[in-house]
């Protein structure tokens, strides 16, 4: 699930498969039965018992992400996520590791544009301990300067390892950065070295005070537990935490519609050129997201997908070709990328990507292709839900990002309802010429002097 | 395809200091107690028991029944992989395995992908060290059609010229990508430094030169010599009964003919002298590297070594989030996003590798830390409060790896490959628990001597070389443009004038 420190919530092309008939597939999709309750202080708790193995997954979803990074502090929400593993009132640094890793469990956390999620999987007899620990770090941090600085150095190394060391790390960074004009999504989650250097302990305190409050948190527990015991522990440890009076700040900035194609050329330490196209797409909760997700699968899931078949297999233009319905809470991106084969031109890859888009706009996809895509997406979900942690991720995403935990079950029905006409309609509606950004990412060695100068960047 | 946008995590892959000036944060309120509540009593675990049968043609079939999700995974292993590549043809075994799914006597590459993906799944094939495999995952009701395709690609691949050329170009492109990354260069170089020109020494997916040399005939020959039922294992796991599993295996693999010629002899492998040679310090100078990759690499143990469980516990003391390497390099000093080690036990003696990526400026410091941690492990036994949690980590990771059908099949297939008892999955926890602190120290002293360990640093050498040379007198520097992965020399021969 984790590679080069990028987590993608859904795995690439599920390799477990379902039946050919979509409705049959849906009927085999086990429904996730959960309980939904809230404390008076605003904390929401979603829980689903499953006693098949003696472990339990605990997650806390905070509705704050890198779009909420303070001014001139890009990367702060993510840095803060790391700091949450340092001292709290009652825990010394890395005590979370003592309570999880040391007893045969594990912990991790991730920061995305819209959310920050902390999670643990432990032997189920440690559930009460972890409920206590999560409540403790929601209550307050107690970090000293040397711990803060050494963890900030870790995050700077994470930046180097994910953006500077891999040949296309900066390409992905630039794709996001260049795709938004005004929305804070234009600041990629990892931030910049300069802004990380500027961050202080005061920022940590302010950020915790502003966003880490019970009415901005959702606790998800899935696995081996007794519901009555869980309720009692949650009441005991989270109940006394007070809800601040101040309203929660929310990003209000609206990204304007694009009014014409824009083109950017950048240079890097890659040997093979890469091309990216991005289109603004509706927010994640929008009904059109389902059809865009199906379009994504038709374009890029597996070796019979359109992009692989055409660009990689038939034309041998690209070493890799991909499409992503990259959903976000406020405004999404539909992204197509190709890393070229040796000796091929970026113009040719761009032309082929555009031709594949046009094909899907000009005629509906076949029934078999549509069915295949739906089976692949549902399969991916089934695979995700093989583990308690995966079930909790699906539940948290539905509640926090889609605004309704019931969507953990109903979205699969919505997906089944997508028609070939829907796919054609969204391709025409969103993948228009005037809604396109084109990024060429070329080898430094190919830079011509005097022209094609890239605009200034953070590097 | 993926759903959520790019996210950053606390740690990848695996999963207190003196306060000079505490910065007290006003907690908004207090949790009612200052110490964590103690754990309740634990529940015990039991894993499924694999059952097996050998077909008349020699194919070993293993079925593991577990029916909590309507999914089945299947894996067909050939008991040889990259180690059988001829010295001049690195990449041959991997290309051969990869080409299986690119055309059979009855289906071309596109038809194979369409057939399996229409069922909702994917067919993956490739070679690793000691084995080549083809895997598939399906809903249990669809296992039959999926196994039919699996058998077809293993038994009747055509290796068309066109597909060979296409794959060759893809391998060259992937190699170009890998050679742009300090971490993957360090892995290639470490293998050559540890194993020289012996069978585990080359890049498993080939070199620029070897990929150009591999012919269709080489591929077809490798397939006919090694892909035979008496050199194969089929493992099926998930929502399937043993009886149904054996019936399907017989239906699709029962008439696979065993060749009359004996299996070719495979020479093993590692140069025994490697254990006593003084370690080298090799720098690959890549001036545009955005970070330095620092590796400590040496020979380790084979999978059947009696010291195996001592070894994995010793490695767990070093590796993992709270292992000593990450404690010293990341947690205490902020020098890396993560430091870890791997004891890769193979049929023959495999490598031990400890590594971290760091800013170029701290390349020498990280090399020093890796070496001193290896030394420390051999010089004193870990205290029990350290050892007990590190064993818990191993047990937890192992148990979680068996949670998914695919994970269960992978673990059992590995036991089968190395001729170990399949019921070892049910003894693993006791085997780990039995290891004591003295075992760990003894293992490190016997198998992880720092003096015979090698250091490899790939990065912008001018930044870290002066300090590295101060610490180690024997540094060898190779410019990335002069690097040659085709032999243990690692350096292109200078053209003679």
Q: Chain A: residue nearest B357 by CA?
A: A161
CA angle A327, A329, A331 (to 5 degrees): 70
Task: Write the CATH number for B389.
Answer: 3.30.830.10
Q: Check residue B56 and give its pLDDT.
A: 97
Is the pLDDT at A213 greater than 50? The verdict is: yes
Same domain, yes or no: B245 and B291: no
State whether B10 and A109 contact (CB < 8 Å): yes
B46 in a domain, yes or no? no
| CA-based nearest distance A450→chain B, Å | 22
Report yes or no on B487 lying in a domain: no
- Tell me, yes or no, whether B13 lies in a domain: no
Higher pLDDT, A202 or B30: A202
Predicted local confidence at residue A23, as pLDDT = 37
- pLDDT score for A5: 30
Are B317 and B382 within 8 A, CB to CB? yes
Kindly give the parts of chain B with pLDDT less than 50. Answer: 2-5, 13-31, 497
CB contact under 8 A, B288 and A444: yes
Would you say residue B44 lies in a domain? no
Same domain, B241 and B372: no
Question: By percentage, how much of chain B surpasses pLDDT 70?
Answer: 92
Helix (H/G/I), strand (E/B), else coil: B135: strand
Nearest to B321 among A82, A97, A301 (CB): A97
Three-state SS for A360-427 is: HHHCCCCHHHHHHHHHHHHHHHHHHCCCHHHHHHHHHHHHHHCCCCCHHHHHHHHHHCCCHHHHHHHH
Which structure tokens are listed for B151?
């058998």
Q: Is the ipTM of this complex over 0.90?
A: no
Q: Total structural domains in chain B?
A: 2
Cβ–Cβ below 8 Å for B44 and A54: yes
A266 closest CA partner among A9, A127, A442, A62: A442
Separation between Cα atoms, residue B302 and residue B317, nearest integer Å: 20
CB contact under 8 A, A90 and B22: no
In this predicted structure, the answer to whether residue A179 has a pLDDT above a threshold of 90 is yes
Query: Tokens for B306?
Result: 């009696």
Question: Do B395 and B445 belong together in one domain?
Answer: yes
A18 in reach of chain B (CB within 8 A): yes
Instruction: Give the per-residue pLDDT at A28.
Output: 56
Do B231 and B311 sit in the same domain of this protein? no
B16, B17, B176 ranked by CB distance to A272: nearest = B176
Name the minimum distance, in Å, from the CA of B461 to any CA of chain A: 15
Asked whether residue B329 falls in the same domain as residue B357, the answer is yes
Closest of B461, B192, B448 to residue B301, by C-alpha: B448
Residue A392 near residue A57 (C-beta atoms within 8 A): yes
Interface test with B, best of A76, A105, A165 (most B CBs within 10 A): A165
**pLDDT(A79) > 50:** yes
Q: Which of residues 343-362 of A touch B (CB under 8 A)?
A: none
Which residues on B lie below 8 Å from A59 (Cβ)?
A: none
Q: What is the rounded average pLDDT of the residues A207-235?
A: 97
Closest-CA distance of chain A to residue B24, Å: 5
Indicate the residue of B142, B172, B337 with minimum beta-carbon distance to A19.
Answer: B142
What letters, b where the CB count within 10 A reaches 16 and e where it falls short, cover B373-391?
Answer: bbebbbeebbeeebbebbb
**DSSP for B4-52?**
B--EEES--S---PPPSSB-----SS--S-SSPPPP-PPPP--PPPPEE
What are the phi and psi torsion angles at A139 (to 5°)? -70, -30
> Over the range A52-64, which residues count as b (16 or more CB within 10 Å of their CB) and which as e?
ebebbbbbbbbbb
Neighbours of A239 (CB within 10 A): 17
From the list B4, B321, B400, which residue is nearest A9 (CB)? B4
Mean pLDDT of the A191-197 span: 95
Per-residue confidence band for A378, with pLDDT thresholds at 50, 70 and 90: confident
- Given the DSSP bridges, would you call strands A217-223 and A55-62 parallel, antiparallel or unpaired? antiparallel
B374 min Cα distance to partner chain A (Å): 21
* Interchain CB distance below 8 Å, B37 and A316: no
The reply to whether B372 and B243 lie within a common domain is: no
Tell me what pLDDT residue B495 has: 65
Does A121 lie at the interface with B, CB-CB under 8 angstroms?
yes
Q: Which residues contact A50 (CB under 8 A, 6 or more apart)?
A: A222, A223, A224, A388, A391
Closest CA relative to residue B78, chosen from B264, B211, B217, B237:
B264
pLDDT tens digits, B17-57: 222 222 323 334 444 578 888 887 777 778 889 999 999 99
Name the DSSP letter for residue A169: H
Taking only residues 434 to 453 of chain A, the set having a beta carbon closer than 8 angstroms to any beta carbon of chain B reads: 444
Query: Strand pairing partners for B456?
Result: B282, B295
Q: Which residues are CB-neighbours of A200 under 8 A, at least 6 positions away?
A: none
For chain A, give the percent of residues with pLDDT over 90: 82
- Give A386 to chain B, closest Cα distance, Å: 6
Tell me whether residue B335 is in a domain: yes
Kindly identify which residue of chain A lies nearest to residue B328, measuring between CA atoms: A150
From residue B377, give the alpha-carbon distance in Å to each of B317, B372, B394, B446, B472. Answer: 9, 9, 18, 11, 21
Whether residue B489 is contained in a domain is answered as no
Name the phi and psi angles at B30, rounded to 5: -115, 145
Which one of A165, A297, A327 has the shortest CB-CB distance to B357?
A165
Q: Domain range holding B205?
A: 51-253
Q: Per the domain annotation, does B456 fall within a domain?
A: yes
**Residues B64-94: pLDDT tens digits?**
998 877 889 999 999 999 999 999 999 999 9
Does residue B187 sit in the same domain as residue B227?
A: yes
- B235 and B329 inside one domain: no
Of A25, A209, A271, the CB nearest to B180: A271
Query: CB distance B358–A157 less than 8 Å?
Result: yes
The two tokens of residue A387 are 């583990």
Residue B353 lies in a domain: yes
Residues B289 and B174 occupy one common structural domain: no
Interface of A with B in 282-321 (CB under 8 A): 293, 296-297, 299-304, 309, 312-313, 316, 319
B420 vs A212: CA distance, rounded Å:
51
Same domain membership, residue B225 and residue B339: no
Q: Identify all chain B residues contacting A297, using CB atoms and an 8 Å cutoff.
A: 1
- What b/e readout covers B122-137, taking b as 16+ CB neighbours within 10 angstroms? bbbbbbbbbbbbbbbb
pLDDT (0 to 100) of residue B7: 64
pLDDT at B39: 81
Cβ <8 Å between B403 and A242: no
What pLDDT is attached to residue B14? 31
Identify the residue with better confidence: A101 or B403: A101
Do B113 and B55 lie in a common domain? yes
The answer to whether the CB of B159 falls within 8 A of the CB of B101 is: no
pLDDT at A454: 40
Does residue A289 register a pLDDT over 80? yes
Q: For residue A170, what is the nearest residue in chain B, using CA coordinates?
A: B290
Q: Which of B190, B222, B253 is the last residue of a domain?
A: B253
Residues B327 and B377 in one domain: yes
Final residue before a domain boundary, out of B224, B253, B282: B253
pLDDT band at A34 (very low <50, low <70, confident <90, very high): very high
Domains for chain A: give ranges and CATH numbers.
33-238 (3.30.830.10), 262-446 (3.30.830.10)
């Amino acid at each position: 699930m984790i590679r080069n420190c990028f987590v993608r919530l859904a795995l690439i092309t599920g390799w477990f498969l379902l039946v050919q008939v979509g409705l049959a597939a849906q009927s085999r999709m086990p429904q996730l039965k959960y309980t939904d309750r809230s404390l008076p202080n605003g904390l929401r708790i979603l829980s689903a018992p499953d006693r098949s193995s003696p472990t339990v997954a605990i997650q806390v979803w905070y509705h704050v992400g890198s779009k909420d990074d303070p001014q001139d502090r890009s990367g702060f929400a993510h840095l803060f996520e790391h700091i949450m593993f340092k001292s709290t009132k009652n825990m010394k640094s890395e005590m979370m590791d003592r309570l999880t890793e040391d007893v045969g469990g594990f912990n991790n956390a991730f920061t995305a544009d819209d959310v920050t999620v902390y999670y643990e999987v432990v032997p189920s007899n440690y559930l009460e301990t972890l409920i206590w620990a999560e409540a403790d770090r929601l209550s307050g941090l107690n970090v000293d300067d040397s711990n803060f600085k050494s963890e900030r150095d870790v995050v700077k190394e994470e930046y180097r390892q994910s953006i500077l060391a891999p040949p296309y790390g900066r390409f992905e960074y630039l794709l996001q950065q260049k795709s938004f004009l005004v929305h804070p999504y234009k600041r990629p989650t990892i931030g910049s070295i300069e802004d990380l250097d500027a961050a202080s302990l005061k920022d940590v305190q302010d950020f915790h005070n502003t966003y880490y409050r019970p009415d901005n948190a959702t606790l998800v527990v899935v696995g081996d537990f007794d519901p009555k015991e869980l309720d009692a522990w949650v009441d005991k440890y989270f109940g006394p935490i007070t809800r601040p009076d101040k309203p929660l700040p929310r990003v209000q900035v609206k990204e304007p519609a694009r009014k014409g194609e824009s083109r950017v050329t950048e240079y890097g330490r890659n040997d093979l050129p890469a091309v990216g196209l991005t289109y603004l797409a509706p927010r994640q909760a929008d009904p059109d997201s389902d059809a865009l997700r199906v379009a994504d699968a038709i374009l890029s899931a597996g070796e019979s997908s359109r992009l692989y078949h055409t660009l990689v297999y038939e034309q041998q233009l690209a070493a890799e070709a991909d499409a992503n319905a990259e959903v976000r809470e406020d405004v999404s991106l539909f992204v197509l990328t190709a890393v070229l084969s040796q000796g091929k031109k970026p113009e040719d890859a761009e032309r082929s990507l555009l031709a594949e888009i046009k094909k899907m706009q000009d005629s509906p996809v076949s029934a078999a292709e549509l069915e295949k895509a739906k089976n692949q997406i549902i399969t991916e979900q089934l695979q995700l839900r093989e583990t308690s942690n995966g079930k909790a991720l699906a539940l948290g995403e539905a509640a926090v990002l889609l605004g309704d935990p019931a969507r953990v079950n109903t979205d699969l029905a919505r997906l089944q309802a997508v028609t070939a006409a829907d796919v054609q309609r969204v391709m025409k509606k969103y993948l228009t010429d005037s809604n396109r950004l084109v990024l060429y990412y070329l080898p430094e060695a190919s830079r011509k002097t005097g022209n094609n100068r890239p605009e200034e960047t953070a590097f | 395809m993926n759903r959520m946008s790019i996210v950053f995590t606390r740690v990848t892959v695996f999963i207190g200091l003196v306060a000079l000036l505490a910065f007290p944060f006003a907690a908004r309120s207090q949790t009612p107690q200052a110490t964590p509540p103690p754990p309740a009593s634990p529940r015990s675990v039991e894993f499924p028991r694999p059952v097996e049968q050998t077909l008349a043609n020699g194919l070993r079939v293993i079925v593991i029944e577990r029916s909590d999700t309507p999914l089945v995974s299947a894996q067909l292993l050939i008991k040889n992989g990259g180690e059988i590549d001829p010295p001049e043809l690195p990449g041959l075994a991997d290309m051969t395995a990869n080409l299986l799914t690119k055309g059979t006597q009855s289906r071309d590459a596109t038809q194979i992908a369409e057939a399996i993906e229409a069922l909702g799944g994917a067919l993956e094939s490739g070679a690793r060290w000691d084995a080549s495999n083809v895997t598939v995952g399906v809903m249990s009701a669809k296992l039959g059609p999926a196994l039919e395709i699996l058998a077809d690609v293993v038994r009747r691949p055509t290796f068309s010229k066109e597909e060979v050329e296409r794959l060759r170009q893809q391998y060259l492109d992937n190699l170009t990508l890998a050679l742009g990354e300090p971490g993957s260069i360090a892995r290639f170089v470490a293998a050559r430094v540890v194993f020289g020109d012996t069978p585990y020494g080359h890049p498993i997916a080939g070199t620029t030169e070897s990929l150009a040399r591999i012919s269709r005939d080489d591929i077809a020959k490798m397939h006919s010599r090694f892909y035979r039922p008496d050199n194969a294992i089929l493992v099926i796991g998930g929502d399937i009964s043993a009886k149904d599993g054996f019936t399907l295996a017989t239906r699709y693999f029962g008439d696979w003919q065993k060749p009359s010629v004996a299996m070719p002899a495979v020479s093993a492998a590692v140069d025994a002298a490697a254990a006593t040679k003084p370690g080298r310090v090799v720098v690959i100078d890549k001036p545009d590297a955005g970070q330095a990759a620092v590796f400590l690499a040496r020979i380790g143990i084979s999978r059947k070594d009696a010291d195996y469980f001592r070894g994995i516990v010793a490695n767990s003391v070093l590796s993992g989030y709270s292992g000593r390497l990450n404690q010293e390099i990341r947690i205490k000093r902020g020098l890396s996003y993560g430091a870890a080690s791997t004891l890769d036990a193979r049929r023959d003696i495999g490598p031990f590798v400890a590594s971290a990526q760091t800013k170029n400026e701290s390349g020498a410091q990280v090399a020093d830390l890796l070496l001193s941690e290896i030394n420390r492990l051999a010089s004193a036994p870990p205290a029990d409060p350290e050892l007990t949690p590190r064993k818990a980590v191993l047990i937890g990771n192992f148990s979680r790896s068996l949670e998914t059908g695919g994970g269960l099949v992978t673990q059992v297939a590995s036991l089968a490959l190395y001729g170990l008892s399949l019921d070892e999955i049910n003894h693993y926890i006791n085997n780990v628990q039995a290891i004591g602190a003295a075992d760990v120290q003894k293992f490190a002293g016997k198998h992880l001597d720092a003096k015979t360990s090698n250091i490899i640093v790939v990065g912008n050498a001018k930044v870290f070389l002066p300090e590295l040379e101060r610490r180690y007198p024997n540094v060898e520097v190779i410019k990335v443009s002069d690097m040659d992965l085709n032999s243990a020399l690692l350096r292109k021969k200078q053209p003679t004038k």
